[in-house]
Structure formats: structure tokens, C-alpha cells
Structure 1
């Protein structure tokens, strides 16, 4: 054995010590897997140290000629080294078990199976002084491999198979870079073991293992992208990874999520440092409830706890402790901060069984106005399940072309007949019943499905114009609602143009309805899209006028074909004299802008006469007709 033969071990020792220092001083919240990783490093440090000391004992024996003392010292070092060697692989497998969450589903018999090779090898090592199967020392303290040393490498191979199994079986949703780091570390350490087995004097095994640990630390343990350094807990990405891990193994667990509703209000008047300090203290408070629970911040005002103990009494205890503490407010940096909190508790997978629903439940801004503390749990969260069901129906209806487009006619006082209509989407449940638009439209508007729905409604409208010859029957145009989210899609102009031209329908036959919110949007993106639609040839109506808080001077900067007055204005005008005068003055203002008024929600003879007297141009409402399927609408306008 030469000095150069232990240089790799010396390098491995220094690297392992450095790695251990960084791992022990890292501020990331302690986890079971981090504790196992530290044990792995300590085990590797011990193995490296034994190899270095073993060489020095051998060299000292040669120099002083004291073979008996050298034999004893080397025997002890080699025994400790082999103990470290046979411990290394099972430790790494237990690290993978913890990292993938497999410990939650493994039974006692599984652990017995995993640890059996280790205990067999340990028993053989403890009896090595008698059978010399692993190693033996000659009279001059010279080290020699025994005939059974290959079993150490067999054990390593067995645990390699265990490790690969756990990564692939329970780490399905693990980040690709983490999975790659774990698998490559197994391969790299294995290569080092094979080299040392085939070339005993080239002692690279421990260095390869150390470099493998370094890869694991950098790409798995040192997970800064999943950690909120300021709050000292895991962030949204860490939460998602943990949830995916739990879902993959089918574990039942409880999540407590709470949001500080008035956090944004405090941001306007309280220093950032004070709020940051408060968030850090809240995390510390949550961790105190049970150090084994994992704490997450999904955003600056949202905190989540994944409970290791999901018993009802434990969940109730932690929930009540949180609520009691939040009611007291928070004093930080000499400032008293009052907190309005919404807290939700749900069991996975009982309440939600996929990541999308879980994240929707966690990030939803629950609030009951005027309540300092609001609690949601169990059945209180059923509406989220309903939302997900509606989203599924929306996707199915669009994919299968089963969405229905109905039309509500618009009556003209001047022409004394129907001259237009509003296209309205209709969605059926799986039992054939209609789902209220007030339920599915808001859900559609929150997701990209609104883009597909908008194109579908336009295409069905164009088809109706062509198939039922609506223009020849006096229907000059049809109103189609356009949601704000659609207008953030810069390609909407070209898409709409392509659809209309494909059916050879005049652009004047399509009138796009936008709300006051869209009309007041001053963003360059919205302006550009609206201008693009106008250049293509589309006209616009302002829908539901009277429901918002519009600045009228800004509102009427846009050119509208129609102003559609919301039904609520009509109801107020019938009961309130001031509202009545306002409504009666509107036609003059609107007409001066070359636009026309459509009064929505006309249902009675009295309302009809009132609207006629105030000089409205058109009406839309149940008085004349409710929304009708395409063919029924075509039959209605033909009869009139």
C-alpha cells in the first residue's frame, strides 16, 4: 500500500467533512430524510477515516517493527471500515424510502426483508476474526482480502436493486432532476465499487461514493427552489412535490390551510420587514404545534400544514390553537396587526383526490365579509368538487360538440319585430338536465376553456345564420358575449375572422358584447385586441350597463353599436324616482353617440310600456321570449 493509494480516501474524507458542514448548517427545515442523509455522511466519514488511519498504523508497524500492536490497530480499523461499508447501502435505501414517502405504506415484513442482507453481513463481520472470510492480516500486519469479500459487493448490488425499485415505484411524481440525481448517484457509486473490487490497489470507492452524495446534496437536499428562505419553510413548489408524493403512494393525510385575507391591505401601510417578520413568526408558531408536521407557504399570505398525525382530536387541537392565536392579532416591530383569517381543513384523498383539486382548495380565497375568522371543512368544500365536475362537463361538451347554443330574440320598437338576438351557451348534465349558466359560465371564464367555448358559440351562430337564413328572415345581427380572458388572447381577431369567413357570413351580422369592466380596461393588450376586432369588421355592444362603477367619460370613449341596460336599472327606476329620471335621461345621451339602447329583463306589460315611454330602441326579455334552441328560434322569427 503506497501513499498514493490513500490519496483518494483522504480527498473523500475532506469532501465528506465539508459536505457534512454544509448539510448541518443549512437552514432548511429538518426532515427525516435529512437526518438519514447526515447519518450517511457520518458513516462515510468514518469509513474514510478508518482507511487513512489503517494506512498509518501499517506504516508505523513497518517503521518500528511492532507487528502485534499494528495487527490489533489494523484489525479494529478494518472491522469498523467493513461495518461502515455494509451499512452504507441499507442507509441509502432507507433514505430513498423516506424521500419517496414509501415509509407510509411499508409493513414490518417489508423492513425485515430490506434489512435481512445487512444483518447477515453484520453477523459474518462480527465472526470474521475466526473465519477470516472478509479479510485477514499476516504476521507483518499486511492486509489480505478473504474469500468471502465478494459478498460485500453482492450486498451492495441487492440494495442497488432495492433503491432503483423505490425510486421508480414511489418516486413517479418526483422532479426529473431529483430522480436523475438519485439514479446517477447509485450508478456512480456502483462503478467505484466495481473498480475497487477488480483493482484492489486503486482505492476510488469512497471517493465515488462521496461524489455521489455531493450530487444528492446539490440536487435533492439543497432544494432552494422549494424553500422559502425568509419564512424558513417550504414554498408552493415544495408543497406540490409533497402532495404528489403522497398521492402516488395512496396515503390518507390531512391538510390544514389558512389565508390572511387582509394581508394586501396591511401591505399598503405596514413596512415589508414587519410583515416578513410576522410571516416568519407564524411559521415558527405553526411548527411548535408539532415539529413533525411539514409547514409550507403557498404564497405570501397562505400557509399550509401537512399533518403527520391525522387523528380527529389532533387536527381539532391544532385548528383551534391556530384560530385562537389568529384572533389575538400579531404584534411585530412595535406594530399591532389585526388578522382576518379563513381556514380550511380537508382529508386527502377523501375530500380531493388529485393535485388540481387540492391546489384549488388551498389557493382559493375563502371569505365571509365581516367575519374575522371563517372555517371550512368537509362538506363546506363540496362546492370545489362541484366546480371540478362542471369543468369536466365543459371539456366533454366541447370535445364531443354537445354544447348547445340558444338564442333569445331582441325586439325593435321601430320595426315592430325581432331584429336581433343574443347567443347563449347551454350545458347539459349527464342526466340530460340543463345546468344554470350562472354556475358554469364563471367557472369557464376562470380557465382556458372559455377560449374554446367562445369559438364554439361563434361557429354555431354562423352556422345558424347560414342554415336557417336568418338574415333573410329579418335578423340583422346576433350578439355574442366575449369574456375578458378571451381578449387577452392576441389571436382572437384572426380566429374569429376565419370562422365568420368560413361560413360566408357578413361581419355586420356578428356583434360582440363586452362588459363595463372590459370597456374600462386601459391595458395596451386589451386595447390592441379590441382595435384588431374592430378593424376586421366586428361591432360592439356594452353589456349589463348599470351593474358596475363606470367613469362615463372614459366609458363612452369607445364606439358601441348598442348599450344594453341591465335589468336591475329597470327595477330600480320603477321604485325610485331618482333612478327613474336617470334611466329616462340615458336614451338621449346614448342616441347622441349614434348608439342604440337595448333594455334587458323586460318581463311584464307594465315594464314594456315604461321602456317604450323612455324612448328605448329595443327590448330583450321573457315578455317576448325566453332563450330558445336554434331551430325553435328560427321558427319563431319566421312566424312573426
Structure 2
């Protein structure tokens, strides 16, 4: 007598697993679809096992031909599950998307051999048979059924070993549990044929695997019903780690903040939901992700570049038209990036960087691909170099002398940061400063420069050389720090530096764009004795009046104004008026970019207070700077 109580339990557990998969888990992911079918197959096998048990336990209640059919179906379905598990392992490791599907078709050949044997078994009874008393007998070719199962399990185990690092540990444990529990249950059932525990044990493993799967909420951005940024990072990393070639189409809406301030977040979210829904229809097999507000990504697996080109074309065409929400036309400016991984970019960080790029040219749609992505790769490399420099002290502070017209001596200098990275080489300051301001590293860099200048002042008696102060650039980001004055005070106290030996520079653009913030910051700095100057003066003439509302000691005129003045009469008038206006308002004037004797003489004729530029010296290391000042100022 066969005891099918375990099969009944297997059916109950399988139904629970299927219900959870349908309601809670992410049904759209390929691997979850495959797992769902594995559970269905287990459920069908349990039902067929009960029919088989009832027929054998109650001889004659089911006709023998129908019993043969039921057992054939059971073996066909049950023999197919190991193959499904192998495909499932390929999906969760990412290998499925890079493998030619013909390989998986070829792997079905052993199964189809069994398929033919089972379909024809009624005529030859070489796989199994029933006697007149409904006794079940395994025949000589039953070894083919077990052999094919073993064949797929070996493939499964080898794949798990090869892609061990690509599969999450908890999933490795769960899938390994399926193998070993299956082997143990088969052995038990072989010695105790009346205990039908194999399908029950499998159902318990299905439950364990299902629990280990992420819930749909952890994968999705609920507002748009697409995958999240974290899921994008995980999925793309998996594809990269398993050496896939695939494409990512990134969409960034550059003017979304303006619309959000006018229409409100609810209407914009409704609009973004409509966009996300539409993106999912562009390619039904692709996955759509929301990386930030107004930034979407479409991942196209496989090596078909023409598919990526088609999707890019569709996006370029659609976003030239308005999106309607509540009878309002929203004309988004969009950047569409077409990236082939790993040919264009090969790291998750590089792909995420696209969402922060400012590549857009102001037109309705900007398309970027191929060589246009090289700049972004460069930015990421510089970002990494900045991080390395902060850890490894690769930053060096150089000093550019500033000439005092009244005394005809070098009376001050500007501290300028230089970076030589072992991997990239020398990096232009404009590049790494811009990158550092965007990723927040500028705060650490600013503190490093300030402290290094204080150290230099404490170790060298620059006063005896005629140096009155050193200028230190202050980043706009630093000016947002509430504890900036406390940090600077602590550093000066550490090196016993007089605040009069330091002058802080702020760019004109920063001062204009953040006038109130700058006023408060500069007021606090001046309270503890700091002198301040405005750098690159003249780059924002329309806001000049707002600059003079801030109490700056020095105005440093941008070098471009001087260079244009030599060639253009109107620019010369502007230069003269700028110097005269600054002087009338009680500010000292510094002219940057003085590179020739003629430029120096022009500044002397205009009574400019200070000059800085290559005519005097390039930025040089501190030892060279000391020697240069001694020589220029005539100090032995």
C-alpha cells in the first residue's frame, strides 16, 4: 500500500508557494517565471503520484491504459525538472543572457530520448510495466530516466561551481539543498517504496527558495512600477561579472525640476509614471529601471546592437513630442545615452554616472553614444584619482608669486593645488576640482590645502622674506559648512599661525549665486580676522553690483579680460573702468594672467596694485618658491 499523505502535503505547500509568488514576489523577472513553472511541475507530479497510488492501492479503479498514461506524464514532467533547474541556475548567475540558446536546445536531446522511450513504453515495456495485479516494476531502461536526471544535475553542479561568485550565497545554499535533499529522498524512497516523500521534500525546498527570493517591493519603485536603482546595480553587476555583452539605454530628463516647481510633484509623478509605462512597451523583453527622479534606464540583454539602436531611435523620436498630463503639455528636454557594455563602459559606477552627467546641449533631445561617452569615463577616472590622492597624499600645494607694484617686490602668493596620479598622470586642476565639487571630496581637499599652507607658514619664516600673506582658495561647497570657521581656527591654533598671514579667495560666480550665504560665511570669517578676496572678477558683469555688497579686501581680475584688452578697444575700456571702480570703492586690485612685459607695463600705467602670472613665475613647489622670493626680493 502506497502512503500518499506526503503528496497531499506537497500539493498544499506548492499551492502556498505559487500563491506567494503570484502575490508577493516579482513575477516579471525571468528567473522567477522559471521557478514558478518548476513549482507547477512539482504540483502536477504530486497529483499524478496520488492518482498512481490510488490505482495501485485500489486495483481496477483506474483502467490500466490510463495508469500507463499517468505514469508516463509523471516521469516526463519529473525528468524535465532538473533541466529547468539548470536553466534557473543560468538565469540567476547571468550566464543565460550571454549563451547561445542553441546550446540549451542541444541539451534537450537526452530528455527527448527519454521522451520517445516513455511514449513508446506501452508497446515495449522496457522502462516500466504493470502486472495483472497492478504491481509496478522498473525495467532495464529505467536507468535512462535516472541517467538523464544525473546528466542535468552534473551540469547544474558544474555551473554552480563556475559561477559561484555571481550567485548570492543564500541562493547557492538553497539550490544545493534541492540537490542533496532530492538525492536523500530518492534513496529513502528506494528502500521504502511505500513512503512517497520525494515530492514533499522538493516542495519544502521550493518553499525555502521562495522565501529567499526578494519581495516585489524590494525590487520596484512603487510610484512608477519599474525596477529600482539598487536592483539596477545588482542586475548590471551580475551581467558584467558573468561576462555578458549587453546594452543600456539611459534617459535623463534635464528640465524636470523646473516643471516640478511649477506643476508640483504629484502631476510630475503622474507624468513619470506614464513615461515608465510607455518605456516598458518599447521592448517587452527589456527591464526598465528608475535610477533617480527623471532618470530611467533600459537594459537590453544579448549582443544585438541593432535592437539598442532601434530603442534609442524610438526614444529620440517620442521625446521630440510633448507628454500630456491633465490636459497640460509637458515638453521635456531629454538626453538619451546608448551604451554597449563592455565596449563603451564596463562598470556599474560608470553607468550610474550618466544620470549625473551634464552632457545636454539645451535642445529637446540630445543623443550620446560611442565617443561621446569617453568624457564620462575620464570623469570617473579622475574621481577615483581624487579619492586615491586623499588617501595616499598625492596632492601637492604649489605657490604662485604675486608682485606688489608699490614696492616692486613679491609680497604674497596664491596656494594652488596640483595632482599627479600614478595611473593617469598629471591632471588639470580644473578637471579634478570640478569633479571633487560634485562628489563632495572638495571639503577634504580644502581642509588639506588650508592645513598644508599653515604647516608651510609655521616651518618657514616668510615674513622675513617680505611675504605678507598667502592666498587660499575657498570652495563654494566649503562655504556651506556651518563649522568652517571652527575648523580653520583649530588648524591655525595647531600650527600657531597668525590669521593675518592668510587671505581667503572666493570666485565671483559663487559670490553672485549665493550672495546671502556668502555674506554670512564671510562675516563669520572676518569676525575672527580673515581677509577675503574675490577671484576671477569680471566673469559676471551683470551681477557686479551684488558682488560689492560683500566686504572683500581684494579684487582679482580674470585673465581673459586682460588678454582681450590687448586686442579690443572696448575690452580695454572695460578693464580700465573695472580697475578704477574697484579702487574708488576702496579695494586693492590684483590682475591675473600677466605673461608679458607689455602686460606688466600696462598694469603699471593703470596703477593696478598687484600682478600675478607666468611673467613672474609659474606655480612652483614651496622650496623653489622660497628661493625665488629670496632672489627677486634681494634677500641673501
Q: TM-score, normalised by structure 1?
A: 0.79
Q: Deviations over 1:555-607 (max 9, x none)?
A: 867x766554545677799748788666534445556xxxx654544562465
Alignment of 1:430-509 (within 5 A): 435-447=427-439, 449-451=441-443, 453-454=445-446, 456-458=448-450, 460-462=452-454, 464-465=456-457, 468-485=460-477, 505-506=497-498, 508-509=500-501
Comparing 426-435 with 384-393, greater Cα deviation is found at 426-435
Given candidates 83, 102, 108, the residue that maps to 2:76 is 83
Alignment of 1:197-216 (within 5 A): 197-198=187-188, 200=192, 203-216=196-209
Alignment of 1:378-389 (within 5 A): 378-389=370-381
Given candidates 574, 577, 584, the residue that maps to 2:580 is 584
Residues in 2 aligned to 1:634 and 1:394: alpha-carbon distance in whole angstroms = 28
Given candidates 70, 89, 93, the residue that maps to 1:96 is 89
Given candidates 7, 10, 35, the residue that maps to 1:9 is 7
2:628 aligns to what? Answer: 636
* Cα separation, partners in 2 of 1:485 and 1:164, compared to 1, 3 Å: farther
Comparing 628-637 with 198-207, greater Cα deviation is found at 198-207
Tell me, yes or no, if the aligned pair for 1:173 and 1:241 is still in contact at 8 Å.
Answer: no
Tell me, yes or no, if the aligned pair for 2:507 and 2:536 is still in contact at 8 Å.
Answer: yes
Tell me, yes or no, if the aligned pair for 1:29 and 1:233 is still in contact at 8 Å.
Answer: no
State the Cα RMSD in Å.
4.6
Comparing 323-332 with 487-496, greater Cα deviation is found at 487-496
Specify the SS of the correspondent of 1:292: coil
* Number of aligned positions between the proteins: 620
Residues in 2 aligned to 1:158 and 1:529: alpha-carbon distance in whole angstroms = 75
Please state how far the C-alpha of 1:368 moved relative to its aligned partner: 0.8
Tell me, yes or no, if the aligned pair for 2:25 and 2:216 is still in contact at 8 Å.
Answer: no
Alignment of 1:149-168 (within 5 A): 159-160=152-153, 162-167=155-160
Residues in 2 aligned to 1:554 and 1:52: alpha-carbon distance in whole angstroms = 87
Residues in 1 aligned to 2:11 and 2:271: alpha-carbon distance in whole angstroms = 42
* Cα separation, partners in 2 of 1:410 and 1:397, compared to 1, 3 Å: same
Please state how far the C-alpha of 1:638 moved relative to its aligned partner: 0.7
Q: Deviations over 1:410-459 (max 9, x none)?
A: 23455543222111122347799854322332123333554554455445
Given candidates 413, 430, 455, the residue that maps to 1:421 is 413
Q: Does 1:191 align with 2:181?
A: yes
* Cα separation, partners in 2 of 1:551 and 1:171, compared to 1, 3 Å: farther
Residues in 1 aligned to 2:474 and 2:515: alpha-carbon distance in whole angstroms = 17
Alignment of 1:66-81 (within 5 A): 66-67=59-60, 69=62, 72-81=65-74
Tell me, yes or no, if the aligned pair for 1:590 and 1:597 is still in contact at 8 Å.
Answer: no
Tell me, yes or no, if the aligned pair for 2:398 and 2:621 is still in contact at 8 Å.
Answer: yes
* Cα separation, partners in 2 of 1:554 and 1:433, compared to 1, 3 Å: closer
1:608 aligns to what? Answer: 603
* Cα separation, partners in 2 of 1:310 and 1:138, compared to 1, 3 Å: closer
Residues in 2 aligned to 1:235 and 1:187: alpha-carbon distance in whole angstroms = 30
Unaligned runs of 5+ in 2: none
Comparing 356-365 with 161-170, greater Cα deviation is found at 161-170
Specify the SS of the correspondent of 2:4: helix
Residues in 1 aligned to 2:482 and 2:140: alpha-carbon distance in whole angstroms = 74
Tell me, yes or no, if the aligned pair for 1:339 and 1:372 is still in contact at 8 Å.
Answer: yes
Tell me, yes or no, if the aligned pair for 2:10 and 2:46 is still in contact at 8 Å.
Answer: yes
Residues in 2 aligned to 1:76 and 1:11: alpha-carbon distance in whole angstroms = 24
Q: Does 1:321 align with 2:324?
A: no
1:50 aligns to what? Answer: 48
Q: Deviations over 1:311-365 (max 9, x none)?
A: 4544443333322222122233322222322222222211112222222235423
Q: Deviations over 1:255-287 (max 9, x none)?
A: 222222222222233354543443344344444
Tell me, yes or no, if the aligned pair for 1:259 and 1:365 is still in contact at 8 Å.
Answer: no
Please state how far the C-alpha of 1:530 moved relative to its aligned partner: 10
1:181 aligns to what? Answer: 171
1:620 aligns to what? Answer: 612
Tell me, yes or no, if the aligned pair for 2:251 and 2:336 is still in contact at 8 Å.
Answer: yes
Tell me, yes or no, if the aligned pair for 1:189 and 1:209 is still in contact at 8 Å.
Answer: no
Specify the SS of the correspondent of 2:368: strand
Alignment of 1:513-532 (within 5 A): 513-515=505-507
Unaligned runs of 5+ in 1: none
Residues in 2 aligned to 1:540 and 1:202: alpha-carbon distance in whole angstroms = 88
Comparing 155-164 with 9-18, greater Cα deviation is found at 155-164
Please state how far the C-alpha of 1:180 moved relative to its aligned partner: 0.9
Alignment of 1:142-153 (within 5 A): none
Residues in 2 aligned to 1:193 and 1:526: alpha-carbon distance in whole angstroms = 75
* Cα separation, partners in 2 of 1:269 and 1:393, compared to 1, 3 Å: closer
* Cα separation, partners in 2 of 1:276 and 1:494, compared to 1, 3 Å: closer
Residues in 1 aligned to 2:535 and 2:451: alpha-carbon distance in whole angstroms = 21
Residues in 1 aligned to 2:418 and 2:352: alpha-carbon distance in whole angstroms = 28
Residues in 1 aligned to 2:178 and 2:483: alpha-carbon distance in whole angstroms = 50
Please state how far the C-alpha of 1:187 moved relative to its aligned partner: 0.9
Residues in 2 aligned to 1:35 and 1:12: alpha-carbon distance in whole angstroms = 20
Q: Deviations over 1:14-54 (max 9, x none)?
A: 34234435545779574543442332122112012113333
Given candidates 29, 35, 38, the residue that maps to 2:36 is 38
Tell me, yes or no, if the aligned pair for 1:12 and 1:210 is still in contact at 8 Å.
Answer: yes
Comparing 348-357 with 33-42, greater Cα deviation is found at 33-42
Given candidates 285, 294, 297, the residue that maps to 1:292 is 285
Residues in 1 aligned to 2:77 and 2:435: alpha-carbon distance in whole angstroms = 58
1:20 aligns to what? Answer: 18
Tell me, yes or no, if the aligned pair for 2:55 and 2:61 is still in contact at 8 Å.
Answer: no
Specify the SS of the correspondent of 1:352: coil
Please state how far the C-alpha of 1:388 moved relative to its aligned partner: 3.4
Residues in 2 aligned to 1:368 and 1:285: alpha-carbon distance in whole angstroms = 25
Given candidates 216, 221, 242, the residue that maps to 1:228 is 221
Q: Deviations over 1:592-632 (max 9, x none)?
A: xxxx654544562465246536xx5x443445444233333
Tell me, yes or no, if the aligned pair for 2:31 and 2:88 is still in contact at 8 Å.
Answer: yes
